[in-house]
Structure 1
Amino acid sequence: MIKCYRGFEPLLLLALIGVVLTSCEREPLVPAANYETKNVIIIVMDGPRYSETWGDSTHQFIPRMANQMAGKGMVYTRFYTNGPTYTNAGHTAMTTGFYQEINNSGTELPQYPSIFQHWLQTTDNDSLAAWVISSKDKLEILSDCTLPEWKGKSRPATNCGVDGLGSGYREDSITYYNALKILATHHPQLALIHFRDPDFSAHQNSWEKYTNSIYKTDEYIYKIWTFLQNEYFYQGTTTVFVTNDHGRHLDGISNGFAGHGDGCEGCRHINLFAWGPDFKQGCLTDTPRELVDIPATIAELMHFSLPEGEGAVMKELFK
């Protein structure tokens, strides 16, 4: 169910998260040929709990998303990962549409081709038209798969970790800088940008570092979102999904916020904010959705098929 607002105050909108929502009528989906979206950017904040982001009524750690961004798009209050709750599995789900038990160290490729491979193959674009940009080197695996007919083909460009797979993690400040440079220079039409710090800091069992990293990542996300609105190539034709790969343990479960990896509510309940020219604005929805629905929706917007995907198009997003 969806509730939309016109001329609302952003804080008023976000204060209603957790309240039972009423439905509103939706116009039929725009025919595919008429979508205004030409570019899609996924931005991933790695591993915060819902209780420290949209689930916190004060939104103290995500002020930019709550106050500047929420009123321009749609916020999901019941968004989940229903596969393994660790980094490589979550990112595999959001890019292939398939939940997979996958090695988390970066030594195993996804089984199925990603949105990047499918889109590049469909459009016959150069690899520089699609990018995987990540603070964690191990996420370079998202550029390929093991399916024989796809392995090594139609691969996106990558900018991951210090210097690619096996080189180690880098600071999010470098990822932010590199992402803006790549967006401004190469103008990718399909990209994933990943920030590691909420997960990295939480694993150090430091509440202060963990919450500060959410706050800092919120700022990076806002600045990228602002850039996309002002850059001529992206202005008016770009859709953004802001989400997480997994959450964290609830208090009282295992080591609490410091860990993740099981099926508890804290590990599964994650965030989704969606914004773009084809989507409703100023809306909350409690429609249950999950990570694999993101690539299905991207395939719809960008006019390619994702036959291996298990997700569904999030039709409630569309105007």
Structure 2
Amino acid sequence: MKKMAILLILMGLGFGYAPAQKTTQTENIFLITVDGLRWQEMFKGADSLFVDDTGMSESLGSLLKEFWDTDPLNRREMLMPFTWSTLEEKGQLHGNRTYGNKVDLRNNMLFSYPGYNEILTGSADDERITSNAKNNNPNTTLLEHLQHMPEYKGKVMAFGSWDVFPYIINEDRSEVPVNAGFDMAEGPNLTEAERMINRMQQEIRGPWAGVRLDPFTHHFAMEAIKKEAPKVVFIAYGEPDDWAHDNQYDEYLHSIKQFDAYLKDLWDYIQSTPQYKNKTTMIITTDHGRGVDKTTWTGHGSGIPRSREVWIAAIGPDSQPFGEVKKEAVLYPAMIARTVFQLLALPYPDGDADAVISDLLP
């Protein structure tokens, strides 16, 4: 017994003790969200219910040719070509409820701030996160946890089209730099591209007061990634939800197709850059679902059926290339936070986050 006690003490001091080896290849995380993109379009392409009366009739242009086919497998490829080629071939897509593969929100609010809080903190908070108001998040996001770790300090960045993200991430407390809403690139060493994006954002105003057009968010993010080489990046695109609220199904589809192109842009850069290539996991999801008929598809929330239904996609060196997952299962976006930490071989800092998505782990 005495020998065993001495051995345990020596192990605790580091003598004769080999620390556990990192079993994941992921060193960087790109967490991507797109606001209000339904699983129906994700997995089936353009919705036949809206083809004739929401901007897609032949008399209004070439939208039928661009987005419509009687086969939903063809439609989804037309809408999201990167997703249904590279992402399906080398990654995973969860949430096609046709096969009983479900991704559901935990929160009961079923709108944006509660959805993003759930994704970023790993748990729902229906008691305190009950509106989209610009209130600083009392909960700690995975971004903040990482920012306060020495190995990630100054290597965490966030970008969003919606001007509420500085509050969701609690920028002041977390010290995570957030470029969102109509923020511009700042600092003494702006690139020529950043100066141009700043100028264009001042000159081109979108139709919404609190949400900028996604091209600004994307290109601010790309320039910062190239310049700063962060280890953890959160990018939140917003256009699909706002076009849907405006009952503009054609613009909703265009914004989804553009979002898919942005995913390709990000993944191509990741795979062409030594710091990121084969060392980066990209996780993609949405903050809420929305209605499914002509009277409810523009909205979402606790009073609109199917608003809980979402989806998750991922691609990276530790995630098996399952493609479209067709097995019966239920996942939750709340699982993303703890999964990110396991991919980085880190213990999650508190016990509140949901379980992990085991399919994304080796």
TM-score (normalised: structure 2):
0.72
Instruction: Give the residue type in structure 2 aligned to 1:292.
Output: A
2:284 maps to which of 222, 234, 242: 242
For the residues of structure 1 that align with 2:245 and 2:149, how far apart are their CA atoms? 40
SS of aligned partner of 1:288: strand
Instruction: Give the residue type in structure 1 aligned to 2:289.
Output: G
The answer on whether the counterparts of 2:343 and 2:361 sit within 8 Å (CA) in structure 1 is no
For the residues of structure 2 that align with 1:50 and 1:171, how far apart are their CA atoms? 22
1:101-147 superposed Cα distances (whole Å, 9 cap, x missing partner): 325434222232111111122335433x11110011111123328xx
Instruction: Give the residue type in structure 1 aligned to 2:43.
Output: W
For the residues of structure 2 that align with 1:32 and 1:86, how far apart are their CA atoms? 41
Match in the other structure for 2:192: none
Show the 5 A alignment for 1:106-117: 106-117=133-144
Structure 1's 192 and 104: CA in aligned 2 closer, same or farther, altered over 3 A?
farther
Deviates most, 44-53 or 259-268: 259-268
Matched, 1:213 2:255: yes
Matched, 1:62 2:87: no
For the residues of structure 2 that align with 1:115 and 1:224, how far apart are their CA atoms? 21
Match in the other structure for 2:196: none
The answer on whether the counterparts of 1:45 and 1:244 sit within 8 Å (CA) in structure 2 is yes
For the residues of structure 2 that align with 1:273 and 1:310, how far apart are their CA atoms? 19
RMSD of aligned C-alpha atoms?
2.1
For the residues of structure 2 that align with 1:307 and 1:95, how far apart are their CA atoms? 13
2:117 maps to which of 89, 92, 96: 92
Larger strand percent = 1
Instruction: Give the residue type in structure 2 aligned to 1:122.
Output: M
Match in the other structure for 2:214: 172
Match in the other structure for 1:256: 296
The answer on whether the counterparts of 1:122 and 1:304 sit within 8 Å (CA) in structure 2 is no
1:178-210 superposed Cα distances (whole Å, 9 cap, x missing partner): 110111111111121011110010011111111
Match in the other structure for 1:52: 41
The answer on whether the counterparts of 1:97 and 1:308 sit within 8 Å (CA) in structure 2 is no
For the residues of structure 1 that align with 2:24 and 2:30, how far apart are their CA atoms? 16
Match in the other structure for 1:160: 180
Q: How far is the alpha carbon of 1:153 from its aligned partner? A: 4.3
SS of aligned partner of 1:54: helix
Instruction: Give the residue type in structure 2 aligned to 1:155.
Output: E
Structure 2: unaligned runs, 5 residues or longer:
1-19, 46-71, 96-101, 185-208
SS of aligned partner of 1:66: helix
Matched, 1:144 2:170: yes
The answer on whether the counterparts of 1:296 and 1:306 sit within 8 Å (CA) in structure 2 is no
2:31 maps to which of 31, 39, 42: 42
Q: How far is the alpha carbon of 1:306 from its aligned partner? A: 3.7
Give the length in aligned residue pairs.
Answer: 278
Instruction: Give the residue type in structure 1 aligned to 2:150.
Output: T
The answer on whether the counterparts of 1:42 and 1:241 sit within 8 Å (CA) in structure 2 is yes
SS of aligned partner of 1:131: strand
1:80 maps to which of 82, 104, 112: 104
The answer on whether the counterparts of 2:87 and 2:323 sit within 8 Å (CA) in structure 1 is no
Matched, 1:269 2:340: no
The answer on whether the counterparts of 1:85 and 1:263 sit within 8 Å (CA) in structure 2 is no
Structure 1's 191 and 208: CA in aligned 2 closer, same or farther, altered over 3 A?
same
For the residues of structure 2 that align with 1:267 and 1:201, how far apart are their CA atoms? 17
Match in the other structure for 1:318: 361
Structure 1: unaligned runs, 5 residues or longer:
1-30, 146-151
Deviates most, 171-180 or 263-272: 263-272
For the residues of structure 2 that align with 1:256 and 1:42, how far apart are their CA atoms? 29
For the residues of structure 2 that align with 1:212 and 1:42, how far apart are their CA atoms? 22
2:322 maps to which of 282, 289, 296: 282
TM-score (normalised: structure 1):
0.81
Instruction: Give the residue type in structure 2 aligned to 1:62.
Output: M
Match in the other structure for 1:197: 239
For the residues of structure 1 that align with 2:133 and 2:88, how far apart are their CA atoms? 34
SS of aligned partner of 1:99: coil
